[in-house]
Structure 1
């Protein structure tokens, strides 16, 4: 901005956008910089004013949701593009934002999801990567507990005690509704059950991905304001939710979640000064399941947990739709062969500097991966 350019930050939810807007206004407003917020909730007159000032270069930093990639959003001199929780956006969406500038903007992508180093090299090999580790000052470690189903009543009695002490809580379920093919307690089922029993006189709400955006935002705003004490939800609260008064996270059927995902969910509590707890509930008491959950109980290192998850569940496809299971590598082991992976990357960089070899590589990859190659290679 001091050099006469603009910056923007795109996030997946309106609540997170509001949080970033308030933080940046506090930091940058003192320097006399103008920060604006653009989401689908912005009224037409205000939106028109923002777009006009943005194109004139009078707005220094724009914070927003997917609204930033609409065709009528035009920057005067965009030079820095930040995408937070970048895994929630498609490749094309991120590219569309950076393509709004003729100045080849610098790009920063951020995620709170720990990624194993081996996968980070594969997926983000063309980026300089930085890892921020440790907790903000003043936060206490979250105590993680693991119980089988017979302790469920005691766990929910503990939930009531937390609310009576003035705190809030999350109950996370793997499914929205019951499914014949999956043995797991759904969010709808748990919500109905708790409303009639433990939460009979306690304000609670059901939150999941099928609700309209406006409904989701309203529920989250009421939870953040302390009006709702307990949120029964799916993994939609995995990112961008900051409620320091929430001190308890109960994960139903924890065996159905990945370690890294539960670590991400666990991060929704422990954001204030009070001691927080994460309770893993499972009806599956076989040794292998309990041993895996104990890994999460004993560690709060997200990168260690991500590596362990990769080891236990497999990496999924690098070029495809499958999110877990065996990767596209037929011989190499993505965990054990890190040295070979790095060497292959260096050789690939050299090959790309040879125009003839580059043409041959493009031809081979195009025939192997069809239009997926074009989308990945040129984004």
Structure 2
């Protein structure tokens, strides 16, 4: 059996009395693009630094391709890191920057030059080899930092908020380029971000972290559409959480009683348990339709146009509930307007934690 590219076993990390990580068990497949996602203080950067060797865990083991590297210093690990601030040398040419790691490893000049040329071509910047850092744009500098990290052929590439300093348009462009480069080279990428849209755009697997623990783990589609916890449901994009109680069960379906009505929803929970139903704004509708049930009426209190859709906040009439609703681009609503509300129970996700 081929070992995982990276494996964390019972990782714990404490800073004095503060618990930064607790009981982290995670296996990362070879050649995958994994994103550690979570709020500030959630533990994602600490876990990345432990993988890179910049921090020694208080407990547990780190394995790379089956080898225990927990005590191995950063320079001797088969990893490289791309940081948010690029960390390029202004006094060196672009080629010098990209080849720096190879020179430190004693790679011969001719081989070094060939590998640098290949790495620059890979990121679309072969024409910049003789330029200086100050001559490049922010996006170009980020690609140079990526080329410098990949030219040494690491087993695992670590990316610490690498797109955080870029403007929105350039950030979206770099997300596409990162994904394309990762697929082309086949290197395992482990990327840290707090941006949910960025995570969904680039990841094969998302690891949602909060307060030093893993809240959810899976593909972007699964985590968005079938979140495992209230935190994951709220953190991965906008959501409506409808609190309720389990009134009955039948096979793999639970009957949930809520202030907005009773719903039969797929999932298992103990009768009498307090639960929540996750309902994405795009799954709440102002018209009836096949499979949809009525949730009552609501008054529009806010409405905004986001280009591809209108986003609304609706105050439910009769209950102290604010719901988020996403409407088609051409469906215009105004504050004060009354909407009927409908949803398909098949779009509701039962959350017991």
TM-score clears 0.5: no
TM-score normalised by length of structure 1: 0.28
TM-score normalised by length of structure 2: 0.29
Structure with the bigger percentage of helix: 1
Structure with the bigger percentage of strand: 2
